[in-house]
Structure formats: structure tokens, C-alpha cells
Amino acid sequence: MILLMPAPVLEVAELAHTYPDGTKAVQGVSFSVEPGEIVVIIGLSGAGKSTILRCINGIVRPTKAKIRFLDEQVRWDYGYLLQLRRRIGFIFQNFNILEKLTVLTNVLLGRLGVQPAWAMPLYRFSQRDREVATAALAKVGLLKEWHKCAGELSGGQQQRVGVARALAQEPRLLLADEPVSSLDPLTADRVLGHFVRICREEELATVINLHAVPLARKYADRVLGVRDGRIVFEGKPSQLELTILQNIYGEEYDE
């Protein structure tokens, strides 16, 4: 039975982070994510959701944590972090694409980790890198737009560029920090649905921070409820009853 259990891609244990100004953003968070699993983190603004994700890929160096990624102990030296980040795709609330560059070049940025040094100053990428980027563009349905300035696209399309850039890394883990919060509700649902479908197809371990409970219900395999930097709920989306949501969001919460 134990042999049939897939090994988790990510294991976070006792993650804690205190910002230099003394804010205790995360306090003793532990969870793990398996291949093909969609874990959604919900919680109030300021609960520490972003900090958790940013600690996992080392953009923020946690005050204290034991993190295992693909059965390796995560360290925080420069060389290891480069190796770690190129295997973890990250999707941002504000897309964080380069508006002056073409859609294709933006997606190719997902290949920076394997770009040879001589090609770096020239914005050149290998044939294989271009093929991977093209495949990623096809996955998000932006093949036709490849030559456009990324800044000219609509918000929904820009976030799909962000998703394609993360996919181009051929990652083992995807982290998405409120990926659809700056889109209108209908587009948000469509973009997120498309994203989740890709993650399942590719059997990617995925962690998504979300504001909206309905979206969490619809797309999560497992939900983590975070309050004041601690996990106060872990379970199936079907278990998200009113009392539990009130525990996560506060007494005033109602549907």
C-alpha cells in the first residue's frame, strides 16, 4: 500500500517567517503536495498566503523552515536557489510580464535557467527552448499572438502568457499567487479553469492562493485555510461549511 502512494513533490514543515519589521507573517505551517494535486490556500488579506508561496521558492528567505522538494532538502544558497527556482513555476497576481517584449520572448523567459551564457546578451534561445515555448503557448491558446507586444494583450491573455512562461520551465511544481484576482469574475473562472485543466493533464503539483471561496470549492482537491499565519483548516472543498469558513475568515463571514 505504501508503495502505491506517490511521493510528495513538496513537503513543507514548520515554516515560519518574520519580516524585518517584526511582522510575524507565517508561524509553523506544515503541508505537502503530491503530483497532480491542486492545493488551494484561502484566507483573509494579510493572513500570510503570499509569504508562504514566496518562502517555498526562496524569493523570501524563511526565518525557519524544513522544506523538501523532490526528496531534496531545500537550502538557501544562491546556487541551489537557481536550481530550485528553475523547477518551480510561479504565477503572479499582476502577471509580471514584460510589456515591451513579445509574447514569445516573455514565454522564453521560462527557459532562462538553461540558457547558455553566450546567448544571454543576445536574447537568443536554443531550438529546443523555442519548441518548448511554442508548446507552452499552444497549451494556453495564444499561438496566434506569439509576435505581439505583451502589453497590447487583454488582462486575461496577459495572465495566460504568465501561465505559459511558468509551463515553459517544464516545472515539477506550480505556485500561483492569486492568479485571477485582477480579472473580472467570468474571465477569472475561465482562466483558472483552463489553468487547472493543464495542471491535471501534466500531473503537476500545484498550490494556488485564492481570495474567492467559490473558486476554491470548484477547483481544489484539497483546501488549506490560513488565519494569522497558521493553518486553521485542512480538508476537502466539500467540507467548507459555514462554521469552518467563519473560523478562517472571522465571525462576520457569511455566504
Partner 1 sequence: MSSLLLEGSPKLPPRPRSPLAPLWASVKLLAAAMVVAYIVLALWHTGFNPWKLVEGAQRTRGLLAELLRPDWSIASQLLKLMNETVEIALLGTLIAVLISFPLAFLGSKNLMLRSAPGRVVYFIVRLIFNILRAFEPVLLALLFVIMVGLGPFAGVMALGIHSVGMLGKLFSETIEGIDQGPVEAVLASGGNRFQVVWYGILPQVAPQFLAFSIYRWDINIRMSIVLGIVGAGGIGYMLLQYMSLFQFGKLATAFLIILAAVTILDWASAWLRTRLGQT
The answer to whether residue 48 forms part of the interface with ligand ATP (CB under 6 A) is yes
Nearest approach in angstroms of CB 182 to Mg ion is 12
Q: Do the beta carbons of residue 149 and residue 141 sit within 8 Å? A: no
The answer to whether residue 51 forms part of the interface with Mg ion (CB under 5 A) is no
The answer to whether residue 50 forms part of the interface with Mg ion (CB under 5 A) is yes
- Residue 25 interface partner, choices partner 1, Mg ion, ligand ATP, none, CB cut-off 5-8 Å depending on type: ligand ATP
The answer to whether residue 25 forms part of the interface with ligand ATP (CB under 6 A) is yes
CA angle (71, 77, 79) in 5-degree steps:
85
Q: Which stretch binds partner 1 (CB under 8 A): 107-115, 126-134, 212-220, 222-230?
A: 107-115
Number of residues that bind partner 1 (CB under 8 A): 31
CA–CA distance, 7 with 25 (Å, rounded to integer): 29
Query: Which position among 43, 58, 62, 162 is part of the footprint of ligand ATP (CB under 6 A)?
Result: 43
- Element of type H or E holding 65: strand 64-69
Q: Which stretch binds Mg ion (CB under 5 A): 46-54, 164-172, 194-202, 229-237?
A: 46-54
The answer to whether residue 101 forms part of the interface with partner 1 (CB under 8 A) is yes
Strands of the sheet containing 64-69, edge to edge, are 24-33, 10-18, 64-69, 72-73
C-alpha radius of gyration, the chain, whole number: 18
CA–CA distance, 205 with 14 (Å, rounded to integer): 20
Minimal CA–CA distance to 18: which of 58, 50, 51, 46?
A: 51
Residues in touch with partner 1 (CB under 8 A):
57, 59, 82-90, 92, 94-98, 100-101, 109-110, 112-113, 115, 120-121, 123, 162, 165-166, 169
